[in-house]
A and B are shown apart, each in its own frame.
Chain A
């Protein structure tokens, strides 16, 4: 007896849309089992994890604050991943974006009016894009592996930030604390509803970016170019599209959005530059991008789900006394179930009775349907 995956001739559109929800449901069930094994009441545990954070207004604000950078970065990553450019360095682009945007209030503290914040956002986006341009150009020109170069540049960016806040940009008034001076009020991203909580316009920016990128990918020639180069580069070249141009485009979009997320985080949620500005948003956004199945609208939902798993993890740690490692466990299960659902949408499982002979030699006997592309 063995299991075999057989490609379905037609994929169900309904189940494609439902897949993340089914995955979430399965994760809740599996999470309940884990709580049970830990000796906790699963109903209480799940309530503390997934419901309680949603019952209080202030924690909904926190949810929006955490979701905003995750969505912004993941939307950009979807462009990269769809074009088969594996940008793993969003964390670094986020950091450089935060630095570049912060330079304006730090170098021109007297310059205080309504133009400051837009300029900071633009500088943040340019900074992130410039950082992403390095692995892009290296790949387009020398065919280097972008996974390695983009990842290594994360550590360079973090060290630059560390040096700045301990050195030239350190706040003289902060005793010897390694942090830059707090931003003046024109340099702060305004809060959405200051009466009820901290959430700022970052989440609005994230949703606007998601809709814009969704439109670009699904309705324009540029989006078609990104997808065709990602799936079938030779066919893309036949269509008159340039692989090098697409590499640079995808990295610039992705870097700009990560940089934007960086400056929004620093000038919104934190209010100043400091050595630690991200709990790993740039890496978590990779999970968000795949949970959202590389569709920017799906990514909005996925961003909130991942933000909830951070919040719920904190709440469950305090409320029912489970370790903060459960956050990772839940995030891992979610990813697992989404990938499993997607696989079952494309394939069905078939039980095969034992064959007497050994499995066939792969290369010579299978006629692949995909040519050599």
Chain B
């Protein structure tokens, strides 16, 4: 528990990138048997700090003491040798290999697969995270994949486990299981550094918290003594405004701006999910949320609605009353729709291209004559001005005037990508994972802007794994499971339990439906 023997003691750790001090004299100490939260906005220096602790980055100044001894952590394998393990936010598993094979890849010694499999299985059962070591990763759910990462980390018998946003991919039920495992690890005297933006979780589980802002430690606290609002205030530096959601007055009667009608799609690859007979109406003024565990067809659904993949029937997707199923993404944008995909780098933005060029990426077709003149000549001045406007509107923080997309932190890039679409006041907005890995301040801003867009008369469809988010902003919530979409439930009827059951694959019939039209 807190106050015990100090395992890791960090003093004055500093990392400078060019002129930016990503970490500026950070102090942190973690006791044995403690769950220690690391909180901070995107770009606050959390990842940089963790990368220095795990040996992926070398500090410019400062000292790391491990069990009281000063150490230099020069590589991840050195970190593992000391007893530091890490579970990354984005999994690094090969889908075509089995769980045991994936684990074997990260072990330095040449142990036979069968030994690894046996050990992994024994360990997984002892921690209540049952795992079939011979299952192909491609067949596993996201929660099961995370178990592989955790087991892989625990097999190296670490004294300190670093978890980066571990619950952002889990159903509420799966998250509870993870918490039990963490409690057990704490009981065994292991220490955990827990990075999360879900303040409720931090309050529930963590013994102490260290809050970073702009690379500096702004406070250590006992999260149990704080409220979610006071924690958020420490992270952001100012009051975080709770998202305000007025009741949608025109619900159920306004025009349908986005209609999906009996949409089917065969799987494109062995690892993709077929879409089965999806129908959905999104009306002007409303936000509809689609919940679901990752990998249940959300990405495939987004590609179909956005027009990156065409439908056989034009009527399968209609935008503002016009059939759009045979139109590509540019055509659908011209009809008034805007899209924000899940993956920021490499899908929503070209990583090595500047922000201004990434503005052109989605806007060249929608604003005829504004950004592209006669003979296809690009109008640089107009684009720079628009990029500046968007960066100001969304408070995008960047190190240069017009940096490449991959130089921005995830949250700042997401603010830019969302702002790029909001800037044209689309009638229909489809967003996949709007605040994945985004800090509290930026997430609140993004959510509020989506609600405001809806209240100004647009139809907003949000696909998200974050239930808190969906309950915060949606007028109705539907659940996607295995390529099927449940009927949207009005916000007033939806509960975490109902949605969680549907996410886990319970029959839609178990949940009582009302016709949305009657709910007005």
Interface residues, chain A, CB within 8 Å of chain B?
9-10, 219-222, 224, 227-228, 231-232, 234-240, 242, 352, 355-361, 363-367, 369-373
Listed A/B pairs (9) with beta-carbon separation below 8 Å? A9-B407, A219-B378, A227-B353, A232-B353, A234-B343, A357-B74, A359-B77, A367-B92, A371-B344
The smallest C-beta distance from B434 to any residue of chain A, in angstroms, reads: 16
A234 to B77, CA, bound (A): 34
Point out which of A9, A235, A358 has the most chain B C-beta atoms below 10 A from its C-beta.
A235
Closest to B106 in A: A364
**CB of B330 closer than 8 Å to a CB of A:** yes
Interface residues, chain B, CB within 8 Å of chain A?
17-18, 51, 54-56, 74-78, 81, 86, 88, 90, 92, 94, 105-108, 152, 306, 308, 328-330, 333, 339, 341, 343-353, 357, 360-362, 364-365, 372, 375-378, 399-400, 406-407
10 additional A-B residue pairs with CB within 8 Å, beyond A238-B308, A239-B360, A371-B345: A219-B378, A224-B360, A240-B330, A240-B365, A359-B77, A363-B106, A365-B106, A369-B406, A370-B406, A373-B347
Tell me whether A371 and B343 are in contact in the complex, defined as CB-CB below 8 angstroms, given that A228-B361, A357-B75 are known contacts: yes
What number of residue pairs across chains A and B have CB atoms under 8 A from each other? 137
A373 and B92: CB pair below 8 A? no
The smallest C-beta distance from A251 to any residue of chain B, in angstroms, reads: 20
B328 and A231: CB pair below 8 A? no
Specify which of B76, B333, B375 is in contact with A360 (CB 8 Å cutoff): B76
A363 and B308: CB pair below 8 A? no
Closest to B345 in A: A371
A222 to B94, CA, bound (A): 36
B376 and A238: CB pair below 8 A? no
A239 to B306, CA, bound (A): 11
A234 to B303, CA, bound (A): 11
B362 and A360: CB pair below 8 A? no
A160 to B360, CA, bound (A): 45
- The interface residues of chain B lying within 8 Å CB-to-CB of A227 are 353
Specify which of B55, B92, B344 is in contact with A364 (CB 8 Å cutoff): B92
- The interface residues of chain A lying within 8 Å CB-to-CB of B105 are 361, 363-364
B361 and A370: CB pair below 8 A? no
Specify which of B51, B86, B108, B339 is in contact with A358 (CB 8 Å cutoff): B108
A234 and B92: CB pair below 8 A? no
Tell me whether A358 and B77 are in contact in the complex, defined as CB-CB below 8 angstroms, given that A220-B377, A221-B378, A365-B56 are known contacts: yes
A224 to B350, CA, bound (A): 11
What 10 pairs across the A-B complex have the smallest Cβ distances? A373-B346, A240-B330, A365-B76, A232-B350, A371-B345, A364-B106, A371-B346, A9-B18, A239-B361, A360-B76
Tell me whether A220 and B376 are in contact in the complex, defined as CB-CB below 8 angstroms, given that A358-B77, A358-B108, A366-B56 are known contacts: yes
B350 and A371: CB pair below 8 A? no
Specify which of B18, B56, B361, B364 is in contact with A235 (CB 8 Å cutoff): B361
Specify which of A220, A364, A367 is in contact with B152 (CB 8 Å cutoff): A364
A355 and B75: CB pair below 8 A? yes
The smallest C-beta distance from A5 to any residue of chain B, in angstroms, reads: 14
A235 to B54, CA, bound (A): 32
Closest to A355 in B: B74
The smallest C-beta distance from A17 to any residue of chain B, in angstroms, reads: 18
A159 to B349, CA, bound (A): 46
Specify which of A219, A236, A359, A372 is in contact with B343 (CB 8 Å cutoff): A372
The smallest C-beta distance from B405 to any residue of chain A, in angstroms, reads: 9
The smallest C-beta distance from B123 to any residue of chain A, in angstroms, reads: 17
Tell me whether A357 and B361 are in contact in the complex, defined as CB-CB below 8 angstroms, given that A370-B346, A372-B343 are known contacts: no
- The interface residues of chain A lying within 8 Å CB-to-CB of B54 are 365
A364 to B92, CA, bound (A): 5
Closest to A228 in B: B350
The smallest C-beta distance from B58 to any residue of chain A, in angstroms, reads: 9
- The interface residues of chain B lying within 8 Å CB-to-CB of A364 are 92, 105-106, 152
A240 to B55, CA, bound (A): 41
A9 and B17: CB pair below 8 A? yes
- The interface residues of chain A lying within 8 Å CB-to-CB of B372 are 221
- The interface residues of chain B lying within 8 Å CB-to-CB of A232 are 346, 350-353
A348 to B268, CA, bound (A): 42
A122 to B352, CA, bound (A): 37
A238 and B341: CB pair below 8 A? yes
A236 to B372, CA, bound (A): 17
Tell me whether A240 and B348 are in contact in the complex, defined as CB-CB below 8 angstroms, given that A221-B378, A371-B343 are known contacts: no
Point out which of A220, A231, A360 has the most chain B C-beta atoms below 10 A from its C-beta.
A360
B360 and A238: CB pair below 8 A? no
A220 and B361: CB pair below 8 A? no
The smallest C-beta distance from A153 to any residue of chain B, in angstroms, reads: 31
- The interface residues of chain A lying within 8 Å CB-to-CB of B350 are 228, 231-232, 235-236
A240 and B75: CB pair below 8 A? no
- The interface residues of chain B lying within 8 Å CB-to-CB of A361 are 76-77, 105-108
The smallest C-beta distance from A240 to any residue of chain B, in angstroms, reads: 3
A361 to B75, CA, bound (A): 10
A9 to B239, CA, bound (A): 33
- The interface residues of chain B lying within 8 Å CB-to-CB of A224 are 357, 360, 364, 378
- The interface residues of chain A lying within 8 Å CB-to-CB of B152 are 364
B378 and A220: CB pair below 8 A? yes
Tell me whether A373 and B77 are in contact in the complex, defined as CB-CB below 8 angstroms, given that A221-B372, A366-B56 are known contacts: no
Point out which of A221, A240, A372 has the most chain B C-beta atoms below 10 A from its C-beta.
A240
- The interface residues of chain B lying within 8 Å CB-to-CB of A358 are 77, 108
- The interface residues of chain B lying within 8 Å CB-to-CB of A237 are 308, 329
A357 and B345: CB pair below 8 A? no
The smallest C-beta distance from B367 to any residue of chain A, in angstroms, reads: 12
Specify which of A236, A242, A357 is in contact with B78 (CB 8 Å cutoff): A357
Point out which of A236, A361, A369 has the most chain B C-beta atoms below 10 A from its C-beta.
A361
Tell me whether A360 and B77 are in contact in the complex, defined as CB-CB below 8 angstroms, given that A219-B377, A366-B56 are known contacts: yes
The smallest C-beta distance from B302 to any residue of chain A, in angstroms, reads: 10
A73 to B231, CA, bound (A): 62
Tell me whether A369 and B345 are in contact in the complex, defined as CB-CB below 8 angstroms, given that A221-B376, A228-B350 are known contacts: yes
A160 to B180, CA, bound (A): 74
Specify which of A231, A238, A369 is in contact with B353 (CB 8 Å cutoff): A231
A72 to B457, CA, bound (A): 54
